Amino acid sequence: MFIIPAIDIKNGQCVRLAQGDFDRVTVYADNPIDVALAWAQKGAQLIHIVDLDGSVAGLPRNAGIILDIVKKVNVPIQVGGGIRNMETIDYYLENGVASVILGTAALQDEELVRAAGKKHEGKIILGIDALDGQVAIQGWTRKTQQSAVELAVRYENCGIRAIVYTDIKRDGMETGVNIEATKALAMAVSIPVIASGGVATIADVEKLLAVKGCDISGVIIGRALYTGAISLEEAIDKCRKAS
């Protein structure tokens, strides 16, 4: 299981939101590139970047910063936020991004997701963000009636690399990862699932490592790394020993 540090970019800064609320922002660094370099130095094997401004606007807003990170950091980068057409997908992947995350598009444009999975097999990640098991889109600003599990199942055998499953209520709150919901999703599909939202202590990593019978391939950690509640090196070491 990979430990994946998160870098959320808003107005060019590295921030964290509480429960996806754009009015509850904590700025952790003015330069996201420095943050990415720090995570790479500490042993990160993959970095998760979200263009928060892009997720609301529906098109990239911080692509320049993201591509600077790709050039300067020798670690694969997965990117989400405002990626809603093939032009943007092609742009990121042709400029060195390892994989792109489709969230809103997964619900609103099934044809695009299937076409992207075929064209860029193994480089497309579904971003499924849920409130009480129901999918939320457009930077988490709009909740839908779509079940997270039903949405995931729809994209079996479509060339999808992984699913990032985020429990919005827990995201940025350090209240513990939603093991039950994450496992339920992972059990429902053959696509590897990356857990996200609420990771608070190394015990959350241990709980995910203990899940059997499904493929939880990684966990995204944000605020707990920034506050020092979790040591990236310790978490990576724990996963390495468990493998």
Q: Any idea which residues carry the catalytic annotation?
A: 8, 129
Whether the CA torsion 72, 74, 78, 84 is positive or negative: it is positive
Element of type H or E holding 223 = helix 223-227
CA angle, 125 then 94 then 117, to 5°: 35
Q: Which two tokens stand for residue 121?
A: 């097999």
Task: Give CA angle at 166 (161, 172), nearest 5°.
Answer: 135
Q: Are 221 and 42 in contact (CB under 8 A)?
A: no
Residues 169-206 as b or e (16 or more Cβ within 10 Å = b): bbbbebbbbbbebbbbbbebbebbbbbbbbbbeeebbe
| Residue labelled with tokens 């992972």 | 186
